[in-house]
Structure formats: structure tokens, C-alpha cells
Amino acid sequence: MKKKIFGLDNSKWTLKEQTDFFQTCSDLLKAGFSIKKIANDLPLLFPQSKNKYQQLEKELLQGKSLSSSLRPFVNRDIADQLWIAEQHGMLLLSLEQLAKFYGQRQRQKEHLQGILFYPFLLIALMVMLSIMVNYWLKPELADFQTNSNRLNSFDFLMQILIGVAVSGVGVYLLRVRKYFFQKKYLSKWDWLCQLPFLGKIFREYAYYYLTFNLGLMLKSGLDLQKICLLLTNFDEKSLLFQFSCCLHKASLSGNTLTSLPDQRAFIPPEFRLFFSKGHTSNQLSEELLYFSTVTYQRLLASFNRLIELIQPIMFILVALVIVGTYLEILLPLYQNLGGISHENY
């Protein structure tokens, strides 16, 4: 119950564990090892995650496929992608792609941690300084205070501004929570893809994920009608199921597939070009797989740009904290000096 309330799930693998798994599995499968042999070796190769990898081995020994065995431990969309790859004999290609994706995510996470270390250290020091000002310096200044009304007005104004900012953030988060509970998953993806700053990353991930999996299915010989039927077997919250709903609605309404990008934000605009050429399934699959590679590179570039922006933003926050702390110290002194000079005059 506690896990559901707070969104925690200890059964899910960490980013590091997923990265280790996909990279090792890809390399060993390419070298000729079987999936069961790889699962048997993983606890020995990564003893720090021994228990979690042993759970995967138990699932495989029960006769389950790799995608079914991984479903409790990884993201729903990743398990769906592996299922498609297994069904059409492209498991190695999918694992190689996931190994690259998770390897890059792990490097970006480590880079982000390095970038944030110094700003967070400064913020911690400024918080300590602010505590010292409030609990040590302010009482000392109170003994010399001669213009308390003006100082109290300043403190009151700062409290109001902080309260308004916190209330605004709280109201926004409540609206987001209400939106996600009430809206269908399809609408949630539209909302995520239109977020400021982060929307571009969600769009590029959706473009990459859809084109890569659609390319795999077309390459295996399926046509769009069979793909639509196949995707309806997925979890209704998965992105592939939502895409199949869009395909189905387009076919019922008589619209062409080129109209799909106008209906949903998570469908690539390039679909207009791909589906208007009249290419064979094999040609279309090659174009989609190539486009998924290009989109993947764009996704990585967007992640890197976002990471590079975080440090300047953090330093701006540190600067604001420093200015606020100095104002807290100097403003009372200035007001007291002003009050004293007026009295002398």
C-alpha cells in the first residue's frame, strides 16, 4: 500500500542495473550465449545486484520469454519493444539499441551528478549562512534596531512573496495530479509532449520509440492492418496501444495516415512524408528505422542541452540566495543608521 501511495516499487531495476543488463545481454548474445545462460551468469558478473538478477533467472526457468520475464522489472514500453522484437526474430537488434540508449542515459546521469555537485554545495553553505543570520545575527541586530516598523514591513513582504510562490507551485502540482488521474493515457502523452522546456524531449522519445518499433514490425513482413491488430493486445496505457487507437480511428473515419500527426502531438510530423510516397513495406521499414536513428541522436542532444542548462540555472538560484542573505543582513543595518541620523538631526 505504501509503495502505491508514494509511487515506489522496489522490484523495478535501477538505471544502473538496467544499463548493465542490456549491455551485457547484447554483448553475450552476439557472442553466441543463450538468454538462460546469460541470466545464470549475471549474478556472478554483478554481485551487488545478485538478488534482482536471480529473480529474472527464476522467471526464465519457468519457461517465460525474456520480455515477459523482464516486465516486472523494467518500464512497460521497454518490455513491449522486446516482445515485438522476439516475435519477429529481431531481439539482438532491439537489445543493441536498448544497450546504447541506457548506456547514454547512465553517462548523462553521472555527468548531471558532477554538474550539480558544486551548486548544491554552495546552496548547502548558503542555507547554513541563512540559518546563522536568522538565529544568531538577527537577535544581535535587534538590540540596535531603531526602526522596527519598517523592518517588520520588509519581513512581512518577503513572507507574502514566498507564500504566493509556494501556493502557486502547489496549485499547479494539484492541477497536474488531477489532470493525470482524470485524463486518458492518450491525453497524458499529448500533455507531456506540449510541456515547456521538457516537451521536446518527450516528443523526440515518442518519435524514436514509435518509428523504431513500427520499422521492426514492417521489416518482419507485417502490413499496417496486421500491426494495428497486433498492438491492440498491448496494455492500454502503453504508447504502442495508444498509437494503434489512432490508426484505428483514422481507418474508420476514412482519413489517410498522413493526417495522424495533426491529431496527436506524439506522432512524428515526418509520417506525412513516409506514408505519402507509396513505398513497399520493406522500403518504408528502412526509412522508419533510419529516421529512428536520427531521432535517437536528436533525443541525446536534447538531453545534453538540458543538462548543460541546469548548472547556470542553479548558479542563478545561488546568486539569488546570496543577494537575499545580504539584504537580510544589510537592510536592518541601513535602516538603523538612517534612524540614528534622523534622531541626531
pLDDT in tens, 44-55: 999 888 888 888
Domain annotation covers residue 159:
yes
Domain count, the chain: 2
Question: 334 pLDDT band (50/70/90 cuts)?
Answer: low
Question: What is the mean pLDDT of the segment spanning 82-99?
Answer: 87
One domain, residues 198 and 129 = yes
One domain, residues 120 and 174 = yes
Nearest partner of 68 among 52, 84, 54, judged by Cα: 84
Instruction: Give the domain range for residue 315.
Output: 104-345
Domain annotation covers residue 32:
yes
CB atoms within 10 A of CB 185: 16
| Residues 114, 308: Cα–Cα separation, whole Å | 11
Nearest partner of 273 among 282, 261, 264, 265, judged by Cα: 261
Domain annotation covers residue 96:
no
Residue 189 has which C-alpha cell?
Answer: 502523452
One domain, residues 227 and 315 = yes
Nearest partner of 313 among 103, 157, 123, judged by Cα: 123
One domain, residues 250 and 212 = yes
Question: What is the mean pLDDT of the segment spanning 314-332?
Answer: 73
Flag whether pLDDT at 341 surpasses 60: no
Domain limit, last residue, from 27, 55, 74? 74
Flag whether pLDDT at 148 surpasses 50: no
Task: List, as one string, the DSSP characters of 277-336.
Answer: S---HHHHHHHHHHHHHHHHHHHHHHHHHHHHHHHHHHHHHHHHHHHHHHHHHHHHHHHH
One domain, residues 22 and 146 = no
One domain, residues 110 and 67 = no
One domain, residues 236 and 277 = yes
Q: What is the pLDDT of residue 147?
A: 46
Domain annotation covers residue 283:
yes
Domain annotation covers residue 89:
no
Is residue 231 within 8 A of residue 241, CB to CB? The reply is yes
Domain annotation covers residue 235:
yes
| Residues 164, 167: Cα–Cα separation, whole Å | 5
Nearest partner of 195 among 273, 107, 302, 116, judged by Cα: 302
Q: What is the pLDDT of residue 184?
A: 53
One domain, residues 126 and 273 = yes
Q: What is the pLDDT of residue 27?
A: 92
DSSP state of 146: S
One domain, residues 231 and 274 = yes
Domain annotation covers residue 234:
yes
Highest mean pLDDT among 164-168, 186-190, 304-308: 304-308
